[in-house]
Structure 1
């Protein structure tokens, strides 16, 4: 199988418009760093255009030099960045996976996500329950912050949970999805994120580099001491440009000048395929450049 790439063809997805709500849920004592990675509110709704690339590790020094000359470090991303840990939900027949592979114009997925050190996660740790959906060429992301125990009660036990008034519609939507579609935890992913933000005329721009993208198909507690398998080769990082209106020309010119190609890559789909839960699609990134079968690397995250 080959990964289908198209050079400099605009792809739009989305992720952050903010709706301010009531005060945030209290932090777990060990979760100050993780929760500080995202400004809390009752409901976040994100709407952005996104373009993804795969970057060979040999090109990272040049890319970092160019980004640092025009952008600032995300204040949470200094000193090596931060971890991003997610548990994805799907049906027994992987409905959300196949909707992504088949490129449906309207599709959704549900996940629980934590930013920071997963070893600090406890029942009171703040996590995010997120619905990410694509409508035509725009991807939207909505989420609420909850203590981890309450997020699991909502998504795993399918219980109505205590929530803020502005969150009722979202909570009902999550309950409708997990109950109506019989969703269950299907894959976990984790990676180290390096983030940059725009300055001056590039305010609202965000650039992320995700390294050592791993996954697992069992032990779906976010803090589980489980082996995480590389689902994208360690020699590749996922680069994403995210903008409210359009990605600046200097960034797309930078990508073209470095001979980077736009990639249709989904960390969730990579995890599903890496563990043999579905046949590998044309978008799967092989472990071996020659696409020969090779044992996958395993490491403790």
Structure 2
């Protein structure tokens, strides 16, 4: 089980700004080992309770909240990461459990007992929460990510673009997943993640962004059709 506690800042920038800042960061930071070209694919399958508790807490800006998701890196990924993100004031706590592909597929179908096969306490916690609040799959969000890293304070700068979603097909490993855009393709989500404090030379670059920090939730974007357009 992996655990990360860090600060996260998000900005919505244009595609032109993405290329400009990507070029700048390529000169001062290291490219993430998974990144090539315009980045690598990420798929996130989000779970929520029957009353969509996590969605509404995010929309309402509740200070202490969580979300549970399963993450893969394309249809051919031989495993999945079950993750829980918890908002704690300015900090984000993320815990993750690496699962076998067959166990992940069983979890998607509602067989939460597969979590009991793992010895980590985090697996038992997810099992209890998902059963207690009747969690079920609600949407898949996919996008491409280009990431830069600095070893100091575990800094990560990520650019997420071409964000698409699906609220009816939850086969996260499918090569024929039908998804639709949920964000203007000319917009990019920039995330700045770090522990402790942000190094000054990186902060100087971020401060040149002519935009205020804002909350851009890919999960809420993924629920946009069912929550905002269906009655």
Asked if TM exceeds 0.5, the reply is yes
More strand by share: 2
Aligned residue number for residue 47 of structure 2:
89
CA contact (8 A) 1:197 1:203 kept: no
DSSP 3-state at the match of 1:145: strand
CA contact (8 A) 1:153 1:161 kept: no
1:133 to 62, 65, 86: 86
CA offsets, 1:39-90, max 9 Å, x none?
xxxx100111111111101222321221112101111112332111011001
CA contact (8 A) 2:154 2:194 kept: yes
The correspondence of residues 148-297 of structure 1 with structure 2, limited to 5 A, is: 148-154=101-107, 156-161=110-115, 163-165=117-119, 167=120, 169-198=121-150, 202=152, 204-224=154-174, 225-273=176-224, 275=225, 277-279=226-228
DSSP 3-state at the match of 2:3: strand
Q: Which has the larger radius of gyration?
A: 1
Deviation at 1:161, TM superposition (A): 4.1
CA contact (8 A) 2:153 2:196 kept: no
Separation in 2, partners of 1:226, 1:204: 33
RMSD: 1.8
CA offsets, 1:128-168, max 9 Å, x none?
01111112221101111011221233462121446443x1x
CA contact (8 A) 2:116 2:124 kept: no
Q: Runs of 5+ in structure 1 lacking a partner?
A: 1-42, 281-301
TM-score using structure 1 length: 0.71
Separation in 2, partners of 1:171, 1:47: 18
